Amino acid sequence: MKAPRITDTTLRDGAHAISYSFTEEQVREIVGGLDRAGVPVIEVSHGAGLNASTIQQGFSKTPEFDLIRAAVETAEKAKIASLFVPGIGTSEELRKAAEIGIGAIRVAVHCTEADVTEQYIRLAKELGIEAVGFLMMSHTQPAEVLAEQAKLMESYGADCVYVVDSAGALVPQGVRERVSALKEALSIDVGFHAHNNLGLAIGNSIAALEAGADQIDGTVRALGAGAGNAPTEVLVAALNKMDLNTGIDLSQLMDLSEEVVAPIMPGPIVIDRDNLSSGYAGVYNSFLLHVRHAAEKFDLNPTEIMEELGKRQAIAGQEDWILDVALELAKKKKVTV
């Protein structure tokens, strides 16, 4: 087993947890801390990717390109990456981010829709930046399907393809199966992105490494959508215990977590009822805030909505469906009463 390349996604995934309110000053402080600690890749964008500051996804307090520019200007060694979701972002935003100076783009789609990434992965390579394929909601498909989708991304020029546990629904066996399948099918790097809805973000990340993963994601203090992600500082500590030297300074990461990120957070990231129900039902983590608003609007338990969304296999991009589902449940409840 080898030490993975770590990507910290605090300034992207973490945006979900603080309602997209990062400021330029916060970005500079967090990027500076991660860079000094030796984190090689730092992801910065709206939580749902470039151009996602909308009424559907949630408006950013500060324009994301201002945040990206602040990150690029601050990082001395680290590569700045952004997330890109086809249909939310366009080629224009990808070109602009590359002009500002990002070094990598992570092209994210539902795990059966790799074919829509072709033009963006090819464009990224034309622009001279790293292209990463992000297979979201990977728990919904068997390993062999993910491998076929990953092969498409590789054929378009991707440098790495990620198994993404968007709902925090996978257990270690499922992670091993999926990562192993991609390692066998591809000649490029394989990555793994965890969420912690079942309390398995660190365990699943280690399982991914055991299966051969080359790249792993984390967020400082687990700041991320839903129940958060694998805490970067805990991940590095665990890897150190396994004699896998990432070259990242754990002490600096712990200070960054305690002194900079913790004060930004509205509260600790916990596996509460809503987060556990989301992971158990296999519902996309960024749906949580929308589900809570819908539950309040229609006097429902968020768990009811989560269970129904899980049954209907809702995927990223279907946030507007949440209100429809909640309304249907409320009507049924009223009739029953």
* Identity of the amino acid at 145: V
Token pair of 206 as six digits: 């280690």
> Do the beta carbons of residue 334 and residue 327 sit within 8 Å?
no
Question: Does the annotation place 69 within a ligand binding site?
Answer: no
- Look at the block and give the residue holding tokens 């051969």: 212
> Do the beta carbons of residue 109 and residue 117 sit within 8 Å?
yes
Question: Does the annotation place 12 within a ligand binding site?
Answer: yes
What are the φ/ψ torsions at residue 54 (nearest 5 degrees)?
-140, 170
CA torsion through residues 211, 162, 315, 57, sign: positive
Choosing from 16, 46, 139, 290, the catalytic residue is 16
Question: Does the annotation place 195 within a ligand binding site?
Answer: yes
SS3 253: helix
- Residue 250's Cβ-side half-sphere holds a number of Cα atoms within 13 Å equal to 13
> Do the beta carbons of residue 96 and residue 119 sit within 8 Å?
no
* Cα–Cα nearest to 44, from 8, 6, 87, 89: 8
DSSP letters along 33-70, please?
A: HHHHHT-SEEE-S-TT-TT--BTTTB--SS-HHHHHHH
Question: Does the annotation place 13 within a ligand binding site?
Answer: yes
Pairing of strands 41-43, 5-8: parallel
- Distance, CA of 262 to CA of 84 (rounded, Å): 27
Annotated active-site residue 110? The verdict is: no
> Do the beta carbons of residue 228 and residue 170 sit within 8 Å?
no
Give the residue numbers of the binding site: 12-13, 166, 193, 195, 284
Give the residue numbers of the binding site for Mn(2+): 13, 193, 195
Question: What residues are labeled active site?
Answer: 16
Give the residue numbers of the binding site for substrate: 12-13, 166, 193, 284
